[in-house]
Amino acid sequence: MIELLLAPETWIAFATLTALEIVLGIDNIIVIAILVSKLPEHQRAAGRLFGLALAMVTRIGLLFSLVWLMGLTEPFLHIGELAFSGRDLILLVGGLFLVYKAVTEMHDTMETGGHIETNSTGAMLKKVSIWAVVTQIALIDIVFSLDSVITAIGLVKHIEIMVAAIIVAVLVMMIAAKPISEFVERHPTIKMLALAFLILVGVFLIAESFGQHVPKGYIYTAMAFSLVVESLNIRMRKKREQLTSKVLE
């Protein structure tokens, strides 16, 4: 173990895997922001914490089931010229769920104007269980982390490095999830943009399950470009509001 810690290759592999896990976790954080927004405000922090903690356990569990995990890449279902592996089916189901979740959330947001409906006493009409949200976060994380875990197995020989990289990456996600979730909630246009990207990610996952590989760099580039444009729009609206308030004064 001491030799492993002192080897430069260990730290290079650890840094590479951690960065990979964090970058590939961006879409996961967006999902968390959308799912947690359904909870009452006092439960959101707990929902993020428990969801990511359970996601970390499932990722590590995947690592310790190497034989089963690598077996997921072998086709076992043939439909005409199409061949599906276990990984393909997981990506297909996950992609369909993401598209469904994003579309229904878009509908709810447009119907309610982004606000939670309440009755005459101020109680929420639509209650969401915190454990339902936590379970959804963990299941979606399996879909998102499947390729990164398989990649980690190919890059690194020592499972200790893989586990350490996953723990650090999830801790970073725990820290980043709260401010990102709050930012999305404060800006309805950002929330709609995030939902649109969830649909895009879902479609890409479905395409991936049919053997059509699309580099995730395309998704992240489009996401970054759209966020920059929307950030400029938000800043422009704030400037306009300030000028309007000065004129009214």
Mean pLDDT by 10 residues, the chain (249 residues): 65 75 73 80 84 83 69 73 79 83 80 51 56 82 72 68 82 84 77 80 83 75 82 83 76
Please report whether residue 243 resides in a domain: no
Please report whether residue 245 resides in a domain: no
As a whole number of angstroms, the distance between CA 53 and CA 48 comes to 8
Please report whether residue 153 resides in a domain: yes
Two structure tokens written together for 106: 């878009």
Please report whether residue 229 resides in a domain: no
For residue 150, the model assigns a pLDDT of 67
For residue 121, the model assigns a pLDDT of 40
Please report whether residue 140 resides in a domain: yes
CA dihedral (177, 179, 183, 185) in degrees, to 10, reads 60
Please report whether residue 105 resides in a domain: yes
For residue 117, the model assigns a pLDDT of 45
Please report whether residue 248 resides in a domain: no
Cβ 156 vs Cβ 11: under 8 Å: no
For residue 118, the model assigns a pLDDT of 44
pTM for the structure as a whole: 0.67
Overall domain count for the chain: 1
For residue 154, the model assigns a pLDDT of 62
As a whole number of angstroms, the distance between CA 3 and CA 36 comes to 43
Please report whether residue 222 resides in a domain: no
Domain that holds residue 96: 2-214
